[in-house]
Amino acid sequence: MQEEDLTPGVDLLESMRSVGYSLEAAIADLIDNSISAGASLILVDIEPITGSHIAILDDGVGMSPSLAIEALRLAGSVGPRTSADLGRFGLGLKTASLSQARRLTVITKRDRVTTALRWDIDHIKTTGRWSLLRLSAGEAAGLHWADRLGQQPSGTLVVWENLDLLLGDSSDPGGFVRARVAPLIESLALVFHRYLHGRQGGIAIEVNGNSVSPRDPFLATNPATQQKPTEHIAVGGAEVSVTAFTLPHVSKLSPQERKRPDLGDQMRESQGFYIYRNQRLISHGHWYGLARMDELTKQTRVQVDVPNTIDHLWQLDIKKSRAEPPASFKTELRRLMGRVVEQGKRVYTHRGRKVDSTDTIHLWSKVRERDGFRYEVNVEHPLVSGLLAGMPTADASKVLRLLETISDSFPSHDLFAEMAGNTPVAAVQRVDESALELLRLYRDSTSARPQVETVVATLAHAEPFSAMSNLEETVRLIWQEQPSGT
């Protein structure tokens, strides 16, 4: 048998351009490289007038001349990967860049040596060879931020020009790219939120002068967020950590948080697993079929931390924007999910849960019917039953009918529509005063005045008294008052 080396044709580069990167994913892939290179400041410039270039400058360790050449080779070999490396295939720099632009220039500086290299699709097409261009210092100096890199001790500048695939046939390239800045910032704020916190050495990212602040999808700093203990699951010899969060009801969000689309009208699409690879968000917004993207589960988000050692099991795609968990892991997740989703649902349903002997007695009961459920005023609530008991029968049945009518006209459709749009239900401020009034009503409605201890025992589990810290004291005071009308 004989063998021959068959190198790929140069058209491969053109084909690689259509992997399907979004602008956000392409820039995130370059930021991965900067983070792996130890950068602490990463600047992105999207030329806002003509859309002529996008530049990404970092202050990482930079590359030696030979490393820079390897870095520009498709699937180049750049040595062993550390466990903190955000790279994977040795393709990102090339495919992400060329998915947006026809020309990719890398200027990198290490140990005071600067190297400038370029892949230019048009040049390759003309030569028909994999001809990498080396720029002279003078040629490199004309590029945006080349001077800035020159002033740094080390770092790497990536410049994309001729943004054909990004711009498409837009007649206003400047306007087109300017409109992309805000969504890019939103996306990077989420994808790198755990780096931007400063925990991993504190990384700062700026896009066109705007600093990107972290967007924690789990609202870990909001005191009303419920965080479950982290569970560790063994997968393929590595450990995957899973932490479930139940986000606060919209009424407990800060005004700042309420402005976030993922906590507002996009809340429902934002539930599900958040898969992180080395703390970098890879994908989110799905349950891998383990739960439904339901209105009731929309408070639940689950952080899944995957190390880069089991990439092969997770079917990580080139763009690092999709990862499918291995089957064994899905089985474990399914086990965890039942409990987690149930907790998320309670954020919505606990106020209406059906009375049971150990639980709070609610003023509204939820009644299951064959075709769904409805709410009704709980006439067994001591307040209602006490009031009715002290009334002449004819009056009591009138009040009962009124309560039934109120129950039947409960505006559930309207409530659902409002809540689906995340309108907060305003908290009622007058609970305290009205509770006192209700206590007086209760005192006067029962014909034989019961003992304070009995009253406290009866009401301690009934809304709204169950929320009062000084119920016994209050009942005592009110019981000592002269009943009205005597």
Q: Which residues contact 87 (CB under 8 A, 6 or more apart)?
A: 32, 33, 36, 81
Q: Which helix (H) or strand (E) holds 157?
A: strand 155-161
Q: Select the span of 84-92, 207-215, 272-280, 448-456 touching ligand ADP (CB under 6 A).
A: 84-92
Residue 314 belongs to what H/E stretch?
helix 311-314
Contact between 270 and 284 under an 8 Å Cβ cutoff? The reply is: yes
- Regarding 91 and contact with ligand ADP (CB under 6 A), the answer is yes
Q: Which is nearer to ligand ADP, 135 or 384 (CB)?
A: 135
Task: Map the footprint of ligand ADP across residues 124-143, applying CB under 6 A.
Answer: none
Q: Which is nearer to ligand ADP, 42 or 253 (CB)?
A: 42
Q: Does 99 bind Mg ion (CB under 5 A)?
A: no
Is 272 a binding residue for Mg ion by CB under 5 A? The answer is: no
Q: Does 382 bind Mg ion (CB under 5 A)?
A: no
| CA angle, 400 then 406 then 410, to 5° | 145
Residue from 18, 49, 89, 423 that binds ligand ADP (CB under 6 A)?
89
**Distance from C-alpha of 406 to C-alpha of 410, rounded to nearest angstrom:** 6
Q: Which is nearer to ligand ADP, 87 or 272 (CB)?
A: 87
- Residue 37 touching ligand ADP (CB under 6 A): yes
User: Are residues 296 and 246 in contact, defined by beta-carbon separation less than 8 angstroms?
Assistant: no
Beta strands in 370-484 (DSSP E): 372-377
Spell out the residues 6+ positions from residue 130 whose beta carbon is closer than 8 angstroms to its own. Answer: 7, 10, 13, 124
Q: Which helix or strand (DSSP H or E) is residue 42 part of?
A: strand 41-46
Q: Which does 60 bind (CB under 5 to 8 A by kind): ligand ADP, Mg ion, none?
A: ligand ADP
- Shortest distance (Å) from residue 466 CB to ligand ADP: 57
Say whether residue 60 binds Mg ion (CB under 5 A). Answer: no
Nearer to ligand ADP, 144 or 346 (CB): 144
Q: Is 63 in the site for ligand ADP (CB under 6 A)?
A: yes
C-alpha to C-alpha distance for 363 and 470, rounded to whole angstroms: 20
The dihedral over CA atoms of 238, 241, 242, 245, expressed in degrees to the nearest 10, equals: -160
DSSP state of 448: S
Distance CA 28, CA 281 (A): 10
Count of beta carbons in the 10 Å neighbourhood of residue 206: 15
Token digits for 478? 């009110």
Exactly one of 51, 60, 62, 92 binds Mg ion (CB under 5 A); which one? 92
What residue 63 binds from Mg ion, ligand ADP, none (CB within 5 to 8 A, per partner kind)? Answer: ligand ADP
Residue 33 binds Mg ion, judged by CB under 5 A: yes
278 touches Mg ion by CB under 5 A: no
Q: Is 321 in the site for Mg ion (CB under 5 A)?
A: no
| Of the residues 51, 60, 62, 87, which one makes contact with Mg ion according to CB under 5 A | 87
CB of 77 to ligand ADP, least distance (A): 9
CB 203 within 8 A of CB 191: no
Query: Which CB sits closer to ligand ADP, 71 or 282?
Result: 71
Which of these segments, 20-28, 90-98, 336-344, 411-419, binds ligand ADP (CB under 6 A)?
Answer: 90-98
Residue (of 160, 303, 282) closest to 219 by Cα position? 303
Closest CB to ligand ADP among residues 93, 203:
93
Q: Which residues make up the interface to Mg ion (CB under 5 A)?
A: 33, 87, 92
Q: Which residues make up the interface to ligand ADP (CB under 6 A)?
A: 33-34, 37, 58, 60, 62-63, 71, 78, 87-94, 156
